[in-house]
Amino acid sequence: MGDVMVQKREELSRETVREGDLAKQLEALKRQVENIKPGAEDRMSIVVFSGDLDKVLAAFIIATGAVAMGMEAVMFFTFWGTSVLRDSKKKAGGKDLMGKMFGFMLPKGRNAIKLSKMNMAGMGTGMMKSLMKKKNVASLDEMFEMAAELGVKIYICEMSMSLMGFKKEEFIDYPNLEYVGVATFLEQAKNSKVQLFI
């Protein structure tokens, strides 16, 4: 009986050692986990700064490609990019002189933008568009449709709108269009897996 008790006592103390060990290991693991910063969210955030046909096309190909892969996609149109979102059939009144001038000089929507290179007075841009048709590459019109259907979010930079004198009523109809400041975009971009400046 006494032997059994001794054995038990030994077992118990062994247990206690092993358990204290487990507790220590658990503590160490907890600290380790706390130090691991969480990975980014499955989202692609693109700044569309450019208003060039080739770059805007690239932005849409990448954004829709990302959604096709199961990611979210957010496009933040700023500076020259805002022109791309103008609706050629819409008009906005109440602009000051500068606003009217910018409105006149900047391309009116996605069908008025040009290639960044080899535009050659429009010839290069025309060639590229006819090539895209021939090779079954989606046009910018089709890209916008696809993006809308896939749920790609489009943000318009409010500061750029104000600078260029653009009004909300002259932008395209798009299901996920929002007018935001740079902070709102950065908040989204910060925790995205991918960020691009195009």
Ranges within 116-155 binding its own copies (CB under 8 A): 117-118, 124, 127-128, 130-132, 134-135, 137
Nearest-approach distance from CB 7 to its own copies, in angstroms: 10
Nearest residue (CB) to its own copies, 154 versus 157: 157
Stretch that binds its own copies, among 45-53, 84-92, 148-156, 172-180 (CB under 8 A): 45-53
Nearest-approach distance from CB 173 to its own copies, in angstroms: 26
Nearest-approach distance from CB 66 to its own copies, in angstroms: 6
One character per residue 78-97, x = contact with its own copies (rule: CB under 8 A)? xxx-----------------
Task: Enumerate the H helices of 38-181 as residue ranges.
Answer: 53-68, 81-84, 97-105, 123-134, 140-150, 158-164
Nearest residue (CB) to its own copies, 18 versus 91: 18
Tally the residues of the chain: 198
**Of positions 23, 88, 145, 168, contacts its own copies by CB under 8 A:** 23
**Of positions 62, 112, 148, 177, contacts its own copies by CB under 8 A:** 62
Q: Number of residues in contact with its own copies, rule: CB under 8 A?
A: 76
User: What's the CA gap between 107 and 103, in Å, rounded?
Assistant: 8
CA angle 97/75/159 to nearest 5° reads 30
Nearest residue (CB) to its own copies, 26 versus 175: 26
Contacts of 75 (CB under 8 A, 6+ apart): 46, 48, 59, 60, 63, 147, 152, 153, 154, 155
CA angle 152/69/38 to nearest 5° reads 90
Query: 88, 106 in Cβ contact below 8 A?
Result: no
Is there binding between residue 17 and its own copies (CB under 8 A)?
no
